[in-house]
Amino acid sequence: MGLAENIRKVRKKRGWSQSELGEIIGSHLSHINRIETGKHDPSLGVLKKIANALNVSIDFLVNGTEDDLKEVKIEDKNMAERIKLLNTLDPEDRKVVIKVIDAMLTKKKILRIVSGENASEQLEHQGVG
């Protein structure tokens, strides 16, 4: 997807009209229309306003794919609440929490790999495989 298409898709996903996006960023509907149809490339300042309004990065608008737009749904309400509260932590505390989570996930992956190797070794000893 290109810049124009990414802006249009994210805007529509938010349920906004071109006019509403224009109001939010202080631009006219016709300007938004020209950007979304690829007839006009926005300045960096306008692109930054669009990205902020749509709550995505400039990089996503320029290089993103449809897969990047997929929302992650957390069905465990307790977990969802905890994730929301992470944003209230100081940046350093957030980094610590992320490191702990990463360490636990890495441990789980290693255990899966090791248990998979053990299973295949057991099959080899039993003459299977």
In tens, the pLDDT along 87-96 reads: 888 989 989 9
Number of structural domains (the chain) is: 2
The residue count of the chain comes to: 129
DSSP one-letter code for 120: H
Question: 96 and 119: one domain?
Answer: yes
Question: 56 and 108: one domain?
Answer: no
Model pTM above 0.75: no
Domain that holds residue 33: 3-69
How is residue 3 written in tokens? 């810049």
Question: 41 and 81: one domain?
Answer: no
Question: 57 and 20: one domain?
Answer: yes
**How many CB atoms neighbour CB 1 within 10 A?**
17
**How many CB atoms neighbour CB 11 within 10 A?**
20
Under 8 Å between Cβ of 51 and 45: no
Q: What is the pLDDT of residue 15?
A: 93
Compute the radius of gyration of the chain from its Cα atoms.
23
Question: 59 and 90: one domain?
Answer: no
Question: 83 and 64: one domain?
Answer: no
Residue 33, pLDDT above cutoff 80: yes
- Distance, C-alpha 31 to centroid of its chain: 27
Q: How confident is the model at residue 73 (pLDDT cuts 50, 70, 90)?
A: confident
In tens, the pLDDT along 53-63 reads: 998 888 889 88
Average of per-residue pLDDT values in the chain: 85
Q: How confident is the model at residue 71 (pLDDT cuts 50, 70, 90)?
A: low
Question: 49 and 84: one domain?
Answer: no
Residue 123, pLDDT above cutoff 80: no
Q: How confident is the model at residue 27 (pLDDT cuts 50, 70, 90)?
A: very high
State which amino acid sits at residue 103: A
